[in-house]
Amino acid sequence: MDFELKTLTRSRVCSEKCDALVVLVPQHVAEGDDTLSLLIEAATQSGDFDRKPGKLLQAYRTTGIAATRVLLVGAGEGSAKNVRTAVNAAMGAVKGSNAQRVVLCLSLLKDGDAAHMQAAVVACGDAAYSYTATKSKVTPAKLQRTVVAVADAAVAKVGFDKAVGLVKGIALAKEWGNRPANHATPVMLAGAAKELAKLPRIKVEILGPKEVAKLGMGSFMAVARGSEEPLRFIVLRYDGGLKADAPVVLVGKGITFDTGGISIKPASEMDEMKFDMCGAASVLGAFRSLGELQPKLNVVGLIPACENMPDGKAIKPGDVVTSMSGQTIEVLNTDAEGRLVLCDALTYAERFKPRAVVDIATLTGACVVALGAVRSGLFSSDDALAQSLLNAGERSLDLCWRMPLDDDYADGLKSNFADVANIAGRAGGSVTAAKFLQRFVGKFPWAHLDIAGTAWKGGAAKGSTGRPVALLVTYLLEQAAEIAKNPVLVKAKAGSTAVKAPAKKRVKTVSV
């Protein structure tokens, strides 16, 4: 769906021709003598329209309004959350009609509020998204364009552009999260990364099995051993800042299908393990948004991509593997494979001398038990980084919650046969998983987002949510703003050994 921003006051929006006019009406709005204001006032006084968030009143061919349909939608106190609720309700009604061009009127809300704009546009994008990649018959979406009407387009443009860029990133993350495993192999995921290299300032390097072996990523390679699909280690770079600026590194878990390996999962709902690469998909989505928005900062994306399968070469419970860091790991459960691929990626991240590292993974069912589908689990060794991510989550309505990282939680990871075991007991499973990852973090600020409960929905609404792309992009844009204010504080140290970036838009050929 295409978006357009347009200056349309209450009186002018009445003459805008469209298939549906969606008007968000907050509890407190100034009275007016135009047709729309009179309609709102009459409907409210009669009791037919309630301004609570998401409450709807529809009208057809209203005198004095050019739109075929008018939908008045309550926006409550006008918060970003209320706006999202209102737009979700309205778009649900519009999608069931023949509307092709919709005008979404935000003119009654606080003028130029970026949070309102982002909530509204992202909600529209969510409603318009439809998965079609593996369907034989595709019905074209009827809704083609949404015009966002505001009191002053010039004031709202920055927020609008950010929101549209965010929608594109979320849609890409949804698309790859939703694809079946045979249509989203590690090689195909690498192909999606290569496509991103067509965008300005984005470069990609793809490492295959031989290159990964030379790096000594024994833990990552061990997980991939049971699959006939060759692994890929994807390195994305967005160079929007100065060469000396330390980058933010995003690490996304890319298990394109997780059977559990030899510690095989129950058959029930195992199909949903195609979503086990949603951390990787969120990194791809974040880079799609970066390519659109072009902020002034440097970002690196690392995606260790492979399948976790149970064939004769697969790792077994009790095996000991050697990670890139040199630490040995006793694999007590092959279904705790995400941390085995992430630990090598975290070691690799250190060479970039990063400003911060954030890994994103559908890591533990324990996090689903703890937080459900509302908030992602946030673990961090750095208070400032944790607060920045929490704030970004609140502002983007892509919520997270900080979890503990007490050293006592690591006791269960002790092993008689290796430096560390890959699992502890059931109690505090999301925390012990994070404590495992923390062992492989250097001196840089680090955070871990466990998105097992938020990355996808099950049941009748089964599908990827695109989370936490909104959180990540909001955080990155705020980091860019901070860099602009304090450029001296973010330079990489003199004599940095960071890996030299590949040539512009170059894609490295890899071995299979």
User: How far is Cα 183 from Cα 134, in angstroms, rounded to an integer?
Assistant: 8
Same domain, yes or no: 370 and 280: yes
Nearest C-alpha neighbor of 172 from the set 293, 295, 288: 288
**162 included as an active-site residue:** no
Same domain, yes or no: 360 and 242: yes
Same domain, yes or no: 139 and 206: no
**69 included as an active-site residue:** no
Q: For residues 32 and 292, which has the higher predicted lDDT (pLDDT)?
A: 292
Helices vs strands, H then E, count in the chain = 14, 20
Same domain, yes or no: 358 and 390: yes
Domain that holds residue 179: 172-406+444-490
The answer to whether 376 and 475 are in contact (CB under 8 A) is no
Asked if residue 414 belongs to a domain, the reply is no
Same domain, yes or no: 284 and 395: yes
CA angle 354/355/356 to nearest 5° reads 85
**Is a pLDDT exceeding 50 seen at residue 496?**
no
- Residue 400's DSSP bridge partners are 376
Task: Give the model's confidence band at 497: pLDDT under 50 very low, under 70 low, under 90 confident, else very high.
Answer: very low
Same domain, yes or no: 385 and 325: yes
pTM score, whole prediction: 0.94
Asked if residue 13 belongs to a domain, the reply is yes
Catalytic residue among 55, 81, 145, 265: 265
User: How far is Cα 390 from Cα 317, in angstroms, rounded to an integer?
Assistant: 37
User: How far is Cα 233 from Cα 236, in angstroms, rounded to an integer?
Assistant: 10
* 85: CATH: 3.40.220.10
Same domain, yes or no: 28 and 143: yes
Asked if residue 430 belongs to a domain, the reply is no
Asked if residue 15 belongs to a domain, the reply is yes
Same domain, yes or no: 83 and 177: no
Same domain, yes or no: 316 and 287: yes
Asked if residue 364 belongs to a domain, the reply is yes
What is the overall mean pLDDT for the chain? 94
Asked if residue 421 belongs to a domain, the reply is no
Q: Residue 76's pLDDT is what?
A: 97
* 178: CATH: 3.40.630.10
Catalytic residue among 339, 353, 395, 435: 339
Same domain, yes or no: 123 and 178: no
Q: What's the total number of domains in the chain? A: 2
Task: Give the model's confidence band at 285: pLDDT under 50 very low, under 70 low, under 90 confident, else very high.
Answer: very high
pLDDT digits (tens, 9 = 90+) for 165-215: 999 999 999 999 999 999 999 999 999 999 999 999 999 999 999 999 999
Same domain, yes or no: 146 and 216: no
